[in-house]
A = this chain, B = another copy of it.
């Protein structure tokens, strides 16, 4: 938000400067009007592209990046988060247990509390929710 204000302020400033410059050069006859128009057109084309890139980058990066802050917000413990990632990989409780060198009942405990925290009824729903929250 602060950046947006700054960018627009600079934009308005540039516009005003350009006006003054163009008025001066047209009157003094140093440049003809076509050049000034072309410069303005190109400049604002670039500014348009730049602004759009900035606004479009936000969803892009937030889509690919895993949001570890969200994990904390949800109150997921380190182990629960670890189990969640294995669940999302399509492993069964038994397979996860073997992989993490613990018993299956331990995994069940983790999964149960993880489902509660994610507000999911099933592990498949937990996967979907986690994907939406960008935590996996």
State the majority secondary structure of interface residues on A: helix
In the complex the two chains form, what is the Cα distance from A125 to B123 in whole Å? 11
Closest residue on chain B to residue A87 by CB atoms: B124
Interface residues of A in 80-136 (CB under 8 A from B): 87-92, 120-129
Interface residues of A in 20-79 (CB under 8 A from B): 22-23, 26, 33-34, 36-38, 40-53, 56, 60
B contact residues around A47 at 8 Å (CB): 45, 48
Least CB distance, A125 to chain B, in whole angstroms: 3
- A13 contacts partner chain B, Cβ-Cβ < 8 Å: no
- A15 contacts partner chain B, Cβ-Cβ < 8 Å: yes
Q: Contacting A18 at CB < 8 Å: which of B18, B37, B43, B123?
A: B37
Least CB distance, A48 to chain B, in whole angstroms: 2
Interface residues of A (CB under 8 A from B): 15, 18-19, 22-23, 26, 33-34, 36-38, 40-53, 56, 60, 87-92, 120-129
12 contacting pairs across A/B (C-beta < 8 A): A19-B33, A19-B37, A22-B37, A26-B33, A40-B41, A52-B53, A87-B124, A90-B122, A90-B125, A90-B128, A91-B125, A92-B122
